[in-house]
Structure 1
Amino acid sequence: MQPLLKIRAERDQMSAIERRIADYILENSHLLRDYSSQQLANALGISQSSVVKFSQKLGFKGYPDLKYSVGEAIARGTGNGGDDAVGAGPGPSGPHAAIAENLWQGKARAEEETRLINPPASIDAIAAEIHGARRIFVIGLGQDGIPARAFAMRLSLAGILAVHHVDPVLMAASTSTADARDLLLAFSEHGRQAALCHVARQFRERGGKVVSVTRHTANPLRAQAGASLLVSAHDERAHIEPLLYQSALQHLLDLIFVLVCEAGAGRLGELAANVERIQDMLDD
């Protein structure tokens, strides 16, 4: 696992001091080989033990192991999530080439970070829950409603009973008969909407299963869920970071959908029949 990619992916879960160390390493990775743990601590105005604990928390034996891993990744051209490797050789030309390349690299990093923080076992378990549920209730407020609605539609095409709402009051009414056979998918980038947390809590109290879809942070909605789909996407530019989040989220949802479709022998056939039926309506 690329060390800088791991640091980016875990940053949201770090303490304030750990984030300072992480940001310094990410911004000065090419200089890390010249720093001892004490020198790094002095540069940040923290204790040497904080640097050592930071390294160990990431799964390294100590700071020398972390420094060696970062240096090795940079030497292979993969230290920054593969940017150097991606940028090697001639690329497309044109007035927007640099912007497009930078955006593509950002999306690729976000997708890889997101993949690292969602273990395959967790992905498989959530896909199995969706495949086996009696009903899937799907909700997302504001911008989160866009991917929620699209995912609910895909599930319906695959023959899964999906109930989508953008109003938490309507969702609360719809889930009044929920039980252990039902599943709630709650989309919220930051997981802080009180109304959504209330719906999730009530759904869980009725015995239903709750899956939250949020950023890789500790948040109230995630605390109400029995399982979570997590997204990691970071950029200092306010107009770019949402694009990276949406891209990484979409890739994650696409993976879940493919697993659900391939989980049952009849899913793909039902999907094809429904798509053909809709296309016939559009062609008339």
Structure 2
Amino acid sequence: MPPLLKIRSERDQMSAIERRIADFILDNAHLLRDYSSQQLASALGISQSSVVKFSQKLGFKGYPDLKYSVGEAVARNTGGEEDRRQPSTADHPHAALAEDLWRQKAQAEEETRLINPPDKIDAIAAAIAGAGRVFVIGLDEDGVAARAFALKLSLLGILTVHHFDPVLMATSVSAANPGDVLLVFSEHGNQVALSQISRQFHERKGKVVSVTRHTANPLRAYADVSLVVSAHDERMHIEPLLYQSALQHLLDLIFVLLCEGDDRMARLDANRERIQLMLEP
């Protein structure tokens, strides 16, 4: 994994000092070659050993190894990029804004893909495909993605129980069976009600899949498997867009994997045709 992507994807699980180092490197990657470990430590007001430990925790032999890797990554990413972008930014006033948003979304999707290895995605898809029922819940804004994914599962012929009310879901969960799957959508994973539902689902011997940010949060502690999203931006109106984009890409991948099983494409086509007939005047 490229060093800057690795730093961004692991940032949410770092200590306060580690986040300070990470933020400095991310903001000043092009200048890092001019900093020794002691100079970096002095600039941040921390010990030199903290910089060394940070580098080793990321999998590098030491700070020089990290610095060299970051320098290579910067050289690869900056070569010729400005020339490639200039023609389109002149086409329309919105072009620069659109390109920046596109780049940020692509970066969030790449980070998210890298921290959700293929074996995890395959395991979740297999659990959903083999479940007797799939329970899906998300509150507030998380409910939008939860509802859309529940609909997709239903179109594939997967028996899906979707609620946006934790009380209704708690009632439904009481009838869950071993082998059933609960998908819990919560960006920050802090809703107490969702943790309680997850615990109740475990008591029924079901499998809990949490869908949250890549942070240590209570909901992930109750999950058998965690889908995690990495999406960061200092602009408060941009960061939620990056989260939603990266999350959608992750869910789309699982949906595509599910489509490849058994006769699900035939069920999908048949269900869409029935829906279309209902919508026609």
Considering the TM-score relative to the shorter chain, is it more than 0.5?
yes
Which of 109, 122, 125 aligns to 1:124? It is 122
Question: What's 1:283 paired with?
Answer: 280
Question: What's 2:154 paired with?
Answer: 156
| Pair 1:64 & 2:64 matched | yes
Residues 2 and 78 of structure 1 are in contact (CA less than 8 Å); yes or no, is this contact kept in structure 2?
no
Question: What's 1:198 paired with?
Answer: 196
Q: CA RMSD in A?
A: 1.6
1:14-29 equivalent positions in 2, closer than 5 A: 14-29=14-29
Which amino acid is 1:280 matched to? L
Which amino acid is 2:268 matched to? L
Provide the C-alpha distance between the structure 1 equivalents of 2:190 and 2:57, rounded to a whole number of angstroms.
27
Shift in Å, 1:188? 0.2
Shift in Å, 1:90? 2.5
1:108-187 equivalent positions in 2, closer than 5 A: 108-187=106-185
Percent of residue pairs bearing the same amino acid type:
75
Helix, strand or coil for the counterpart of 1:106?
helix
Provide the C-alpha distance between the structure 1 equivalents of 2:78 and 2:5, rounded to a whole number of angstroms.
9
User: Structure 2 regions of 5+ residues with no counterpart?
Assistant: none
The range that moved more, 86-95 or 271-280, is 86-95
Helix, strand or coil for the counterpart of 1:212?
strand
User: Structure 1 regions of 5+ residues with no counterpart?
Assistant: none
Show structure 1 runs of 4+ deviating over 6 A: none
Question: What's 1:216 paired with?
Answer: 214
| Residues matched between the structures, number | 280
Provide the C-alpha distance between the structure 1 equivalents of 2:82 and 2:61, rounded to a whole number of angstroms.
28
Provide the C-alpha distance between the structure 2 equivalents of 1:71 and 1:275, rounded to a whole number of angstroms.
51
Shift in Å, 1:227? 0.3
Provide the C-alpha distance between the structure 1 equivalents of 2:81 and 2:124, rounded to a whole number of angstroms.
35
- CA offsets, 1:118-167, max 9 Å, x none? 11111110010011100000000000000000000000000100110000
Helix, strand or coil for the counterpart of 1:265?
coil
Question: What's 1:266 paired with?
Answer: 263
TM-score, length-normalised on structure 2?
A: 0.96
Helix, strand or coil for the counterpart of 2:174?
helix
Helix, strand or coil for the counterpart of 1:269?
helix
Residues 77 and 85 of structure 1 are in contact (CA less than 8 Å); yes or no, is this contact kept in structure 2?
no
Helix, strand or coil for the counterpart of 1:163?
strand
Provide the C-alpha distance between the structure 2 equivalents of 1:155 and 1:86, rounded to a whole number of angstroms.
44
Shift in Å, 1:84? 3.6
Which amino acid is 2:98 matched to? A
Provide the C-alpha distance between the structure 1 equivalents of 2:78 and 2:227, rounded to a whole number of angstroms.
26
| Pair 1:54 & 2:51 matched | no
Question: What's 2:99 paired with?
Answer: 101
| Pair 1:241 & 2:250 matched | no
Shift in Å, 1:260? 1.2
Provide the C-alpha distance between the structure 2 equivalents of 1:175 and 1:195, rounded to a whole number of angstroms.
13
Provide the C-alpha distance between the structure 1 equivalents of 2:57 and 2:190, rounded to a whole number of angstroms.
27
Residues 13 and 217 of structure 1 are in contact (CA less than 8 Å); yes or no, is this contact kept in structure 2?
yes
Helix, strand or coil for the counterpart of 2:228?
strand
Shift in Å, 1:87? 5.1
Question: What's 1:251 paired with?
Answer: 249
The range that moved more, 49-58 or 151-160, is 49-58
Helix, strand or coil for the counterpart of 2:59?
coil
The range that moved more, 270-279 or 161-170, is 270-279
Provide the C-alpha distance between the structure 1 equivalents of 2:167 and 2:73, rounded to a whole number of angstroms.
50
- CA offsets, 1:81-118, max 9 Å, x none? xx948954622521211111111111011101101111
